[in-house]
Amino acid sequence: MSITRRQFLKATGGVAAGIGVSGSLSTPAQAAPAPADPGRTTLPFSPKVVAHLGQLRVNTPVSFLYPDASSPCAVIKMGMPVPGGVGPDRDVVAYSTLCTHMGCPVAYDAGARTFKCPCHFSIFDPEKSGQMVLGQATENLPMVQLQYNASDGTVKAVGIEGLIYGRQANLL
């Protein structure tokens, strides 16, 4: 018995349609749970003390390396509450100091209260979560997630929000 091409296509098309319909009719209890945020990954960052609150001066950055020796960052006491700020006044923030455009080291300009890239003139605002406000960069500066311990006045880096320039993951 031979089967024609038309008969073959009808049979296989009907089977494929049946599988598609039966898959869409499953109840929510039978369906696999969808991940909460498929683009987000929790990485095992090691906490690191980066400053003591009593030693931080308003509008003066303190450099540190996090999460590894190839990742320069700066912690700053802004002097007023800012998004993501920690401490009693919610004014201490930290950022990667590698420009998100081409990885040049950004410098903090205390007069303008911004990070500036000397290579291609991108400017980032630490009072607005490291937002890129001017220049070639298309991403904000990666923000270092901080925790403040009131009992001893330490500020710890515990993670990074955003991707450090030149990396596929923030941990090497």
**In Å, how far are 120, 145, 148 from 157, measured between CA atoms?**
28, 6, 9
Pairing of strands 131-134, 143-149: unpaired
Of 74, 87, 101, 129, which residue is the catalytic one? 101
| 101 counts as catalytic | yes
- Which residue carries 């609150």 as its tokens? 53
Of 10, 105, 120, 171, which residue is the catalytic one? 120
**In Å, how far are 20, 35, 95, 96, 170 from 91, measured between CA atoms?**
54, 34, 13, 17, 25
**In Å, how far are 28, 31, 104, 172 from 25, measured between CA atoms?**
9, 10, 53, 44
Contact 135, 122 (CB under 8 A): yes
| 52 counts as catalytic | no
Give the residue numbers annotated as catalytic, written as ranges.
101, 120
